[in-house]
Amino acid sequence: MFKAEIYKARRAELRRRIGSGLILLPGNSEAPRNYFDNAYAFRQDSNFIYYFGLQQPDLFGILDADSGEELLFGDDCSIDDIIWMGPQPSMVERGSWVGVERTAPLAAAAEVVGKAIRAGRKVHFLMPYRGRTVLQLARLTGIDPLRMVEHLSPELAVAIAAMREVKGPEELEELENAFEVGYAMHTAAMRATREGISERMVAGEMEGITHQLGEGVSFHSIVSQHGETLHNHSHEGILTNGKLLLVDAGGESVNNYCSDHTRTFPVSGKFTDVQKDVYNVVLRAHDRVIEEARPGKYMELHNLALRTLVEGLAGLGLVKGNPDDAFAAGVAGLFMPHGLGHGIGLDVHDCENMGERGLGANFAPIAATGKVDSCIMRSAWMLRPGTVLSDEPGIYFIPALIEQWKAEGKCKEFVAYDKLEKFYDFGGIRIEDDLVITENGCYQIGRDKHIPVTVEEIEAYMAK
């Protein structure tokens, strides 16, 4: 948790940006796993952490943008709670840690929200992503839970995302702590990798570290020799010499800031010539992004990465013709069918719960379409000093996609389809690091070190 002044200043700024009405900020409850008392590890809502910093379940914050009042709702512990969990700080005490003077039992939130609604005041809330929170907000506001999406507040989404996107010094420090978790994870994965063990063993080795150094993983670890499957969560494969292992994994710092890195390395510890060639094309794209990243349009960086990949693939003979024409024809989509990166902060895809990036005219497909699970494109995202984003280009040989493009004759003058069959069991390569945008450039998170990334660094590290 940070100093109370930080949370007070953030809440004041949010009230100022919203101007009028009530702002509802629900905390998370425990999420049962297979029965009520056996819950997943508790994870507080990231917006609640950002404005109130408190970690226990069943808290609810309300900011009154007109009067400036700030209320924190939650229940003091009962004798039952003390028996099972030990003595707990009171709500008054918890409020004092984060600069909130007025606390009340959770049930009292209904009266405050009800009064505002009866008075015709605007009540701002975001689209809740957990069923229990949907029901809680439905009960407080009287809105049909199935139509909640029609009532969420785009102004609140824009204001919160705009604030969270620009990281303060205390947050950048936390992201460095998250990097330390990520560094320990990825180097442990390289040390653990050897023929004959399962992907599960490598994943377990890394995930144990996230609990030793932080608050667990920042998302499901991807540890797979089938790196061509972008989000492959199976860890069932047995490591085989000659294959590449793709590890996309991150951890949370103790204050819930996230890291997200990908390394792809040979099970044997030595790249083959072909693996090295493809790897170096991806690495060039990753490095070009670091050279060019600065305030401005995210899409320019995305396109720079794609263009660099196309040039490199042309050098390997897998893309034919003029690379500029091949890029313009969209050939990169066959090899890298995903975006270059995403925001990173309290969420590993930071602020994506607030909707599409851009936060202006192109904002909020959630509000416009009611789709809460659409893929975020970030096509209007503007990078500002203090934005943190992942830089994660990749090349994937996805047999089904190649076969589909080939059957459709897609980009046939630019894709050397005859040469691609040899790559059907290659897998995929992704390289990912986390960047902070500065006034006129960027730097890579990692105070005094980076996870081995060049062919030479990886081979040397794995040989140790």
> Would you tell me which residues interact with Mn ion (CB under 5 A)?
260, 390
Q: Which does 219 bind (CB under 5 to 8 A by kind): Mn ion, ligand GLY, none?
A: ligand GLY
Environment class of 303 (CB within 10 Å of its CB; exposed 0-12, middle 13-18, buried 19+): middle
Residue 417, interface with ligand GLY (CB under 6 A)? no
C-beta closer to Mn ion: residue 171 or 260: 260
Nearest to 310 by CA among 285, 293, 290: 285
Residue of the chain from 97, 117, 132, 219 that contacts ligand GLY (CB under 6 A): 219
Angle (CA) 440 348 39, round 5°: 160
C-beta closer to ligand GLY: residue 215 or 248: 248
Quote the least distance from Cβ 375 to ligand GLY, whole Å: 10
Question: 298: how many CB neighbours lie within 10 A of its CB?
Answer: 24
| Residues 322-351 contacting ligand GLY, CB under 6 A | 342
Angle (CA) 396 399 400, round 5°: 115
Quote the least distance from Cβ 230 to ligand GLY, whole Å: 8
C-beta closer to ligand GLY: residue 156 or 249: 249
Give CA separation, 139 vs 19, 113, 254, in Å.
25, 10, 33
Answer whether 346's CB lies under 8 Å from 49's CB. Answer: yes
Residue 260, interface with ligand GLY (CB under 6 A)? yes
Residue ranges with strand state E in 212-272 = 222-224, 244-249, 261-266
Residue 311, interface with ligand GLY (CB under 6 A)? no
C-beta closer to ligand GLY: residue 141 or 225: 225
Answer whether 375's CB lies under 8 Å from 353's CB. Answer: no
Residue 405's H or E segment, with its range, is helix 399-408
d(CA 259, CA 179): 6
Quote the least distance from Cβ 232 to ligand GLY, whole Å: 11
Q: Which does 165 bind (CB under 5 to 8 A by kind): ligand GLY, Mn ion, none?
A: none
Residue 424, interface with ligand GLY (CB under 6 A)? no
d(CA 44, CA 26): 10
Residue 248, interface with ligand GLY (CB under 6 A)? yes
C-beta closer to ligand GLY: residue 166 or 230: 230
Quote the least distance from Cβ 390 to Mn ion, whole Å: 4
Q: Which residues of this chain interact with ligand GLY, rule CB under 6 A?
A: 219, 248, 260, 342
